[in-house]
Structure 1
Amino acid sequence: MDWRFGDFTIIDLIAATTNAFNAALLARRPDHYKHFTVVGILLLGVIGGLAGGIARDLLLLQTPVALLNPAYLILALIAAGTALAIDYRSGQALRSGLFQFATSLALPWYAIIGAAEALDAGLPYLAAVLIGVVSATAGRYLVDLTCRVTPKLFIRSEWYVGTTILAAVAYLVCAAGFRLGVWPATLIAFVAAFVFRYAAMLRGWEEPEPWEPPELRATESERPPKEFGSGPD
């Protein structure tokens, strides 16, 4: 076991915890919920919280740190349990607003730490951005598949993938371009990505879809409702 807590580990734990919290909230949403048990929701929280870091470490040919440091699993379970308790005790308006905030809060962290770890491993900038995107979206991808929902990163939404790219690029600019330390670069990148994502969700900014010929548009099925019903995703 490895209980050490350096700068990268602390940022990584923040990413795992916030994503586990968000995944547990997601599993309780009407479009994802499939009569999961309490244990099932906790497991989905753990999957959503740890999958990004595990995917990143495997891409970097490293033993996943989440399997070495027990703090990852412990904090992910606590975060998922907290989300479940809040969901049971809150109304729909609070749940929707909380999920909006939690999604914006969770998304940038893994993108930042993924780019940071790739940069530290000596990978090119484009590869660092790619690993940041994979790290940030892997957990949601697995939760969506488990819930039989089209994975979020493939469909139109309020700049879901775009936010991860922004977070990774902002970190690289600050760390590699301006030579800022880990924490200043991380906080600047996080604030930029969080503000952008939250504003996109509140204002309904969405990625563009490709042009569709009329014959294709006439046969396509109706777009599924957004996660928040009438609100932003």
Structure 2
Amino acid sequence: MGSLWDAILKNLTPALGSFFIIDLIAATTNAFNGALLARRPTHYRHYTRVGIVILAIFGGIGGGVMRDILLNTVPDPLQSPYYVVFATLAAVLALYLNYHTGQKVREGMFRFMAAFSLPWFAALGAYKSLEAGLPPIVALAVGVTGATTGRFLIDITSGMTPKHFLRGEWFVGTALLTSAVYLPLWYAGLSIWPATLIAVAVGFTFRILALHYKWEEPEPWEPPEAAHATAPAGRSSHALDDAAGTARAHPTADPPDPQLRKP
């Protein structure tokens, strides 16, 4: 009994190092954003409350798990129960706020969290890759992969084309920028906290501006004769895909807001 209790305490009381705390922030914010995403008309598939919490956990720890798999280490979210606990709490809070707030507040909250949650795993992926002695190009790749895996899992589960591949407000570009900003800070000798906060601030600012001003990644050039078949001006292919997702989720002329039903 004593050895079992010692093992439980060891798992529940990790050394609260800087990386662990930042990684937990990344998992929690991404889980919160994942729950909000699962309730949006484009992704909502009449999920149960437990289903949304599971999706949020996928979104929260998916980036850290994929990062550590690429680095050939046991994933940190599998070594401490804090990740799942905090991701679950974040999902429950997101569901509560999503139901008890108005449409404008929900939309603003989602846009803020979509920008705020993205850069954390990008910075941590770059940090952990550099600490492992890997070259900068690998650090960029791991940073981008870690930052975008959670969204990929939720998109695939919801039957949507992953956001990585659609025209939008620089989703992958923000992750790449954050990782790229982290590299010179690490080589300059900054410790993990200031380097991460600077990189996250740059990525967050860029993402907020991209969302506000509708900065979007370019699509391939179309030959002149195919110009009439492209998306209408002012609407990206991602916006068209969102509209199609809404129609699939709610096959009516005027898709109902899922907030009308209790989560």
The normalised TM-score by structure 1 is 0.93
2:194 matches 1:184: yes
2:30 matches 1:19: yes
Confirm or deny: 8 A CA contact 2:166 2:238 kept in the other structure.
no
- Structure 1 pair 144/200, CA: closer, same or farther in 2 (3 Å)? same
**Partner SS, residue 162 of structure 1:** helix
Which residue pairs with 1:153 in the alignment? 164
Partner Cα separation in structure 2 for residue 9 and residue 96 of structure 1: 30
Superposed, 1:52-71 pairs within 5 Å as: 52-71=63-82
Q: 1:200 aligns with which of 210, 214, 217?
A: 210
Which residue pairs with 2:149 in the alignment? 138
**Partner SS, residue 24 of structure 2:** helix
Partner Cα separation in structure 1 for residue 54 and residue 128 of structure 2: 26
Question: Deviations along 1:83-115, whole A, 9 cap, x unmatched?
Answer: 011001011111110000001100000000000
Which residue pairs with 1:210 in the alignment? 220
2:87 matches 1:76: yes
Gaps of at least 5 residues in structure 2 are 1-10, 247-263
Gaps of at least 5 residues in structure 1 are none
Confirm or deny: 8 A CA contact 2:27 2:83 kept in the other structure.
yes
Of structures 1 and 2, the larger Rg is shown by: 2
Confirm or deny: 8 A CA contact 2:168 2:238 kept in the other structure.
no
1:214 Cα shift? 3.8
Corresponding letter in the other structure for 2:59: G
Which residue pairs with 2:124 in the alignment? 113
CA RMSD of aligned residues (A): 1.7
Q: 1:164 aligns with which of 130, 152, 175?
A: 175
Partner Cα separation in structure 1 for residue 63 and residue 24 of structure 2: 11
Partner Cα separation in structure 1 for residue 227 and residue 175 of structure 2: 30
2:115 matches 1:101: no
Corresponding letter in the other structure for 1:109: W
1:193 Cα shift? 0.7
- Structure 1 pair 212/95, CA: closer, same or farther in 2 (3 Å)? same
1:210 Cα shift? 1.1
The normalised TM-score by structure 2 is 0.83
Question: Deviations along 1:23-60, whole A, 9 cap, x unmatched?
Answer: 00000000000000000000000000000000000000
Instruction: Tell me whether 180-189 or 102-111 shows the greater mean CA deviation.
Output: 180-189
Equivalenced residue count is 228
- Structure 1 pair 67/167, CA: closer, same or farther in 2 (3 Å)? same
Partner Cα separation in structure 2 for residue 216 and residue 16 of structure 1: 43
Partner Cα separation in structure 1 for residue 238 and residue 18 of structure 2: 41
